[in-house]
Structure 1
Amino acid sequence: MKVAVIGCGTMGTVHARDLYKLPGIELTGVCDLDLKTAQSLAEGTAAQAFASFEEMMAEVEADVIHVCLPTYLHKEYVLKAADLGKHVICEKPIALNLADAEEMIAHCESRGVRLFVGHVVRFFPEYADLHTKIEAGVIGEPGIAHFKRIGSHPGMAKAWYNDEEKSGGILMDLMVHDIDFARWSFGEVKEVYAMSHRSQGKEYALVTLRFVNGTIANLEAHWGYPGAFTTSTEISGSAGILRSNSRDSGSLQLVRSTISRSALAGVQVPGSPSYHDPYYYELEHFLASIRNNNQSVVTARDAYHAIEIALAAKESARSGRPVQIASKGGVPV
């Protein structure tokens, strides 16, 4: 199967390198407005480099287009790829509003191509294990969950993150990971309450989700933390508690307030103690879903509902009031 990548920033680089490693996959092209960036990535992946999507598609063969562009460009290039009859993998969040997300899903369906959205947390072994244990009833009926996700501000590396009209801000770009995981684990959300604060170089959000099944989840996200990217999860149920913390492997920790040069070079990407990184397993799964015509563990409709909840959180933070979710049982109403 042949794949081409558009966007050679942090995520485009991670995904292109993983595609290059995947058996049975040929990375045919990488594209970025900065041709030197594309050429640098091409040198290590045996792909051809381009500065134009149209030029790339005229020169190389591809069964799948992987869109790793900034969020505000997702819709445009997903539609272009679908018009060419190509399956599409798109980075999360799917879009910045529900109308665009719906159009992207419908357009891909009308062109007979698959659309996958990179909610990669489902492919982190520790999160997959948490989900499996919840589904198996190890902790009984889930009651209260706490999620935390903190890291440096990506706007220090990529200016477009600072523009909420382009990135969606911390709720749409960072917390959407835990929103998707919580919905995957606990079902549909019926009410959202949120608080947020934004200042120079820092952004913080605290969101409470009330699920149809009675579970309550508190989600915390922070951009501007001076240390390593960190996540933690605690889920309590009627028969026990599950805990996971990405810092558990460490003992003594020193966090400095100064920002290193490496932090300015690119956006922080969370790691995982597995043989391959989770992005590799995500891509392997998506491409196998295309090859075998199987349903993916995360669908484009899941991605739609993740931003539906994130947008409700943004509205709640703005108004100071709880917001009811408009969809029931995963079907928009």
Structure 2
Amino acid sequence: MRNSWKQRDPMRVELGECQVKVAVIGCGTMGRTHAAEWKRMPGIRLAGVCDAQEGAVRSLAGRLETEAYEDFDRMIGEADPDIVDICLPTHLHKEFIFKAARTGRHVICEKPIALSADEAEEAAAECKKQGVRLFIGHVVRFFPSYADIRRKAAEGTIGTPAVLHAKRMGANPGLAKPWYANSDKSGGVILDLMIHDIDFAQSLFGRAVSVYAMNRREGNTDYALATLRFGGGEIAHLEAYWGFPGPFTTGVELAGTGGVLRFNSENAVSLRVFKAKETASGSGVAAAVPVPKSPSTYNPYYLELAHFADCVRTGREPEVTVEDACSALRTSLAVIESARTGRPVKLKDINAREGENRHVYR
């Protein structure tokens, strides 16, 4: 059967002068989250949602007052979106990036970009070939507390940043969605959860040059620890945990030559600065400087998606580039390899190109 859509020029309309049409494929947790944010965003029309599960797609479409589709080609032909937002299981990312790009649509895809470095590079190359933009949803960059840490590091608040500690833990999603429990489809806790903090660490220090990790899986527990080293001597210690019995929890601490920046989601204060303070005796005394909570009008997913839409309209480079997403994937795969072998893994020269191991916070 012939497809109902025709390939088009992705810039056939002046996106800066009209409403941008977005279609979301995948009506699971992330699809519902993205669709709800698109629905309330000025200048955006949620043209449709798509999922193979009729109940899920009709429920979401009804709640958000948009069209429901169970077939991707039909959605493209009838909804005619400018942007396709892919919120599918990881093992389907490459397939649908190709599908969307080949119809001339710009693509937003949840992280990770793919399951392998080859798949990621092929997806990026296909979008470039078709003349469409590709954006990968590493949303932690848009969480206000994490953005505050990057900004204060860049301002020199704690001197020269040197050591990062980050943790991310929650219930095992494989209990609700079996594909998460299948490493061939999700990549496990490292590729699905720790990759958030891998990307954040690399946004601070540049590309990692080596990793050393462990990963324990037993029953409903998938737990990983990793140490990343960077070209300037910086170190990141990362922890990721599926099977945590408490609420979803994140924390990050960035230590520098002049102080510490710290955030923990369990605390009421978004970000605390513990800065070294010289006293009359010359001894250093840690002083807590509370930073007001960030406004909650727009959540990080809204900020991320609005940023991507603006990049489509204006042609500007995104906060998270395709190269960033590919590098986060390569580093995550190196972490998996280190945990498998019990040995440190040096990343290949592709992660050590000139300019990629700069101190990003400067």
TM-score when scaled to structure 2? 0.84
**Counterpart of 1:92?**
111
Deviation at 1:329, TM superposition (A): 3.4
Alignment partners' CA distance in 2, 1:75 and 1:69: 10
8 Å contact 1:188–1:329 — kept in the other structure?
A: no
Change (3 A) 1:29 1:188: same
Name segments (4+ residues, structure 1) moved above 3 Å.
329-332
**Counterpart of 1:268?**
none
**Counterpart of 1:309?**
331
Query: Which digits, 9 at most, give the CA deviation of each residue in 1:230-288, with x for residues without a partner?
Result: 001111110100100000029xxxxxxxxxxxxxxxxxxxxx97222110000000000
**Counterpart of 2:317?**
295
The alignment partner of 2:226 has SS state of strand
CA RMSD of aligned residues (A): 1.3
**Counterpart of 2:45?**
26
Equivalences, count: 311
8 Å contact 1:151–1:226 — kept in the other structure?
A: yes
Alignment partners' CA distance in 2, 1:331 and 1:49: 46
Query: Which digits, 9 at most, give the CA deviation of each residue in 1:27-85, with x for residues without a partner?
Result: 01100111111111111222100111112112212000000000000000000000000
Q: Does 1:127 align with 2:146?
A: yes
**Counterpart of 2:259?**
240
**Counterpart of 1:328?**
352
For residue 284 of structure 1, the aligned residue among 266, 284, 306 is 306
For residue 150 of structure 1, the aligned residue among 153, 156, 169 is 169
Alignment partners' CA distance in 1, 2:51 and 2:92: 13
The alignment partner of 2:199 has SS state of helix
Alignment partners' CA distance in 1, 2:211 and 2:295: 33
For residue 209 of structure 1, the aligned residue among 228, 232, 249 is 228
Larger Rg: 1 or 2?
2
Q: Does 1:199 align with 2:223?
A: no
Unpaired segments ≥5 residues, structure 1: 251-271
8 Å contact 1:120–1:278 — kept in the other structure?
A: yes
**Counterpart of 1:67?**
86
**Counterpart of 1:102?**
121
Q: Does 1:224 align with 2:243?
A: yes
8 Å contact 1:305–1:330 — kept in the other structure?
A: no
Alignment partners' CA distance in 2, 1:125 and 1:143: 21
For residue 75 of structure 2, the aligned residue among 43, 56, 68 is 56
Unpaired segments ≥5 residues, structure 2: 1-19, 270-293, 357-362
8 Å contact 1:29–1:48 — kept in the other structure?
A: yes
Deviation at 1:86, TM superposition (A): 0.2
Deviation at 1:20, TM superposition (A): 0.2
TM-score when scaled to structure 1? 0.91
Alignment partners' CA distance in 2, 1:112 and 1:66: 17
**Counterpart of 1:17?**
36
Alignment partners' CA distance in 1, 2:155 and 2:129: 37
Alignment partners' CA distance in 2, 1:209 and 1:329: 17
